[in-house]
Each structure stands twice: as C-alpha cells, then as structure tokens.
Amino acid sequence: MHVDAYTLILLTSGVTLISCVWLACEWWRGREASLRSWSIGFGCITVGCSISLLRLRGFDSLGIWFSYVFLILGHALFLRGCLSLTRSKAGASWLVGIPVWAACYVLPDDGAAPTLVLVITIVVGLYAAVCSTILLRSGATNRHARMLAGVFAFHAAAYVVRAALVGVEGGFVSLQSFKGFAIEAVLFEGALVAVALAILMVSAVREEREAELTARADTDPLTGTLNRRAFFAGVPILLSIERRRPSGAGTVLMLDLDAFKQLNDGFGHGFGDDVLRLMCEVVGRHLEPGELFGRLGGEEFAICLPATRLAEARARADAIRCDFAAAATAFADGRGEPTLSIGVAEVFGPGDLKDALDRADAALYVAKRAGRNRVEITSSRPETIPAVSIALAPNARGALASAA
C-alpha cells in the first residue's frame, strides 16, 4: 500500500502534536528542564509540518524555506533537552543551526532546491548525532537515556542517507509538491522516530526521578553520606563478596567527633553542622570506590573498608584523624578545637557486622578515655559468625551505587 507525502505529513503532525502535549503534561508533574525543551521541540516540528503544506498553495517561501526553521529549532531544542538531562553546560551553542538556516535564504530557488535540502539535512543530522553523543558520553547509568541515544543515532544515520540522495534522480523531484522517493522516505522515518523519541524521553526522565528518590532515601540530608539504613543495607552485600577472596572480609571504623556537644552549645548548631560536613569531606578524600561511609546518628559515623587488614585500616584511620584536625583548626579559627576519635575492628562476614561495629565502638571509647583525638583498634575475634540472608537488604544495590 502506497501512502502519499500529504498523508505522511498529516501523520507526522499528529504524532508530534501528541508528543508535545504528552511531554508538557509530564513536565508539569516534575518541572524538569529537559522535558520542557523536548516538548517545545515537538511543538516546533508540528508547526513546521503544518506550514510546509502551504507550498501546495503556492506559498513557496513559507512552505519550504520558512518551515525548515521549525525543523531545525525543534532539533536544537532536543539538543538543549539532552544537555539538561545530562546536566551539561548548554550556553548558546545549541542555536548554531539558526544562522545557517537564515543564510539559506540567498540560495537559488528552483523546484528541487538541492543545495537547500543538502544544507538543512546536514544541520538536522548533526543535531541528532550530537544528541546521541552527549547521551552516551555522559557516563549515566540511565538505561532509557542510552536507548534514546540509539534512536538519535538512527535518526542521524537516516539524514546521512538523505544527504547522499540529494542529486540522485527521482530522490527530490519537487519540494513544492512533495515529489520524490527520498521525501516520502524521510517523512515516514520522521513519524516513526517521533514516536520512539517521545516514549524514551519520558522514560529517561522517569528513570532519573526514581534514581533521585532512591538517592534521597539512602542519603543523610545534612552530610550527604549514606544514612543508617542504607549503610546497614549495603555493607552485608559488600562483605559477602569480599569474604570469598583470600584477603578476607575487611574492617570497620567507628568515628565520633570529640566534645561535639560543647561545640554546639558554645558556638551554635550551625557551626556544629559545618564541622560535621567538613569531617565528611575529609573522610571522602580518603575513600576509594566500593568503600562505604555512613552516618549512624548524631556525630557518630561508620566506614567499611573491604579486604583491608587491621594495620592498614589503622594507618588510614590515623591519616583521616590528622587531616581532619588540620582542616578543622583552620576552619574553626579559634572557635574550639574540633578533633576526631576512631575505633577500628575487623569484620569477618555479613553476619558479623553488628558485633564488629560493637567492637569498633568499644575501641572508640577506649580512645575517648585515653584523651581523645586518637585511633584505637581491637583484635578480638568472635567465636561464631551468624549467617545472614542478603535478601533482607532490599536497598543494598542503591547504597553501593551511592557509595561508588
């Protein structure tokens, strides 16, 4: 069955209009900048498709040259949306295709207009290719964003083929009457791609929303570290992996700010919050991927160092303590002397986590009684290690991802 170009334009206009409204409704729910740009982009393409029909009435300048600006602007807004989704800097570079379109006004006006078609095709194809590249290079784990990149890559490839068909006999016979097999093929491809883009754009943003909600649920709002629930969800998974290796399960560290109540009472809770954030910043500089750091409550924090022996853990704990003391002295500027005490204990498996933290906590209070601003270790080993079901930690994957 043959579908003429006029029908394909109406089909594309309908698809892009529905996509525009759908993305606008989805944007209203979360107010994401990417959805706003994409929705307006589909709206521009809808306007361009509608205006293009004017060429059938003899309005060539409006129906051909002017309609193309909406096609370019729509793809420029797609690029702007991709930049927003990946949190990349936008600037004004996404509008570079507009002056190129404006320059096309001086091109010769003939029925096939091969130069005009070639220039517009190259511009739109480049926009699609850049969208795909940005989504792939962002390093995001968003599965739907990667699929969206694939559709943009396909769209770019289609425009490469279209550019190659410029000048081929029968490809672009007449822009005024939409005659030419290349014109019909591109219109058909555009309708299909519009559907795929709209679905994947919404899916990618929804996936981002879910990831953000998970991160918020697993993150301490003051310090940005894992919260207690996320820490206890992630560590058993980590230890179950490490215990299978020759190096063993690892160590846990309990950290506590010395005389924190006096700091809060003497200099205000705002100062105390700043000291907590400073301590987390210092600790973060000493952590490697796969090591978990969480706030258990108040000024008490814990670190899990997988496959790390006591001697190495003590050395790293002492480095954290010294770095924090130096940073806190400079930050406090005479408002007390914030210091940190740390207790270190070995952990021998997922079922040993609670007892290991208790042992590290006992070592921590030995450090407190010995004068504070110290690191103490305990080398005691439990007689038995209870089994634990890793399935009881439903948020462990999110916790591990946040730690990395």
Highest mean pLDDT among 75-79, 159-163, 258-262: 75-79
More confident residue, 253 or 94: 253
Write down the pLDDT at residue 327. Answer: 93
Same domain, 23 and 55: yes
Q: How confident is the model at residue 174 (pLDDT cuts 50, 70, 90)?
A: low
Q: Is the pLDDT of residue 325 over 80?
A: yes
CA distance 266 to 272: 10
Q: How confident is the model at residue 399 (pLDDT cuts 50, 70, 90)?
A: very low
Angle at 289 between CA 287 and CA 290, to 5 degrees: 100
CA distance 123 to 115: 12
Indicate the residue among 186, 215, 244 that finishes a domain. 215
If you search the block for the tokens 């462990």, which residue do you land on? 396
Indicate the residue among 181, 215, 249 that finishes a domain. 215
Q: Which residues on neighbouring strands pair with residue 293, listed in sequence order?
A: 303
In the chain, how many domains are there?
A: 2
Q: How confident is the model at residue 402 (pLDDT cuts 50, 70, 90)?
A: very low
Candidates 226, 257, 233, 250; CA nearest to 344 is 250
Residue range 10-29, pLDDT digits in tens: 899 999 999 999 999 999 99
Same domain, 204 and 65: yes
Highest mean pLDDT among 59-63, 171-175, 283-287, 385-389: 283-287
Same domain, 149 and 247: no
More confident residue, 55 or 161: 161
Write down the pLDDT at residue 261. Answer: 87
Write down the pLDDT at residue 244. Answer: 55
Write down the pLDDT at residue 391. Answer: 40
Domain with 135 in it: 5-215
Print burial letters for 118-128: b (CB count within 10 Å at least 16), e (below 16): bbbbbbbbbbb
Q: List Cα–Cα distances, 401 to 89, 226, 235, in angstroms.
A: 25, 11, 12
SS3 174: strand
Same domain, 82 and 203: yes
Same domain, 64 and 199: yes
Write down the pLDDT at residue 106. Answer: 67
Q: At 23, which CATH number?
A: 1.20.1070
